[in-house]
């Protein structure tokens, strides 16, 4: 699949493509995400220069959280959505111009028999301050 823009429709198109892959190809994509999420995501999402700069400036903790949650949601074919919000800042010149906040409701329930269930969804919220 060609790279998709990092927009709500681009993330949806990537998710639909991924979830419709045959089982072996799907498993290979998930393994690739687990091995190196950054490489996988940059190979599948067309980030503009500003998005790439912002992504590179995310903290290691933020990147790890994003990688874990996206990989978990994708592996169990749970909904992943991107929400882009505009927010007026009270500051004359806001120090930050963008806030990145993955909101996960993913829950893994396990029992003593080794069975488990994954439920929930992942929403990636990006707020642009102006």
pLDDT in tens, 43-83: 999 998 888 988 999 999 999 999 999 999 999 999 999 99
The Cβ of residue 112 has, within 10 Å, a number of other Cβ atoms equal to 5
**Is the pLDDT assigned to residue 33 strictly greater than 80?**
yes
**pTM of the predicted protein model:** 0.86
Domain boundaries along the sequence of the chain: 4-129
Reduce the DSSP state of residue 61 to 3 states and report it.
helix
Beta strands in the chain (DSSP E): 4-5, 45-46, 80-87, 98-104, 107-110, 116-119, 122-129
Give the range among 15-24, 56-65, 90-99 with minimum mean pLDDT. Answer: 90-99
What is the arithmetic mean of pLDDT over 104-122? 94
CA–CA distance, 29 with 40 (Å, rounded to integer):
8
**Tell me, what's the pLDDT at 99?**
81
CA–CA distance, 5 with 114 (Å, rounded to integer):
39
CA–CA distance, 22 with 78 (Å, rounded to integer):
17
CA–CA distance, 117 with 108 (Å, rounded to integer):
6
Give the range among 76-80, 97-101, 114-118, 121-125 with minimum mean pLDDT. Answer: 97-101
CA angle 89, 96, 59 (to 5 degrees): 145
**Tell me, what's the pLDDT at 69?**
95
Residue 94: pLDDT band (50, 70, 90) is very low
């Amino acid at each position: 699949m060609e790279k998709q823009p990092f927009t709500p429709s681009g993330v949806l198109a990537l998710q639909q493509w991924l979830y419709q892959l045959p089982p072996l190809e799907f498993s290979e994509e998930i393994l690739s995400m687990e091995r190196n999420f950054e490489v996988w995501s940059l190979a599948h999402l067309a980030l503009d220069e500003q998005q790439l700069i912002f992504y590179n400036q995310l903290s290691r903790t933020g990147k790890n959280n994003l990688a874990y949650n996206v990989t978990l949601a994708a592996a169990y074919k749970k909904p992943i959505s991107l929400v882009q919000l505009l927010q007026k800042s009270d500051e004359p010149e806001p120090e930050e111009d963008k806030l990145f906040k993955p909101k996960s409701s993913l829950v893994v329930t396990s029992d003593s028999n080794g069975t488990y269930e994954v439920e929930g969804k992942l929403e990636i919220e990006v707020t642009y301050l102006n």
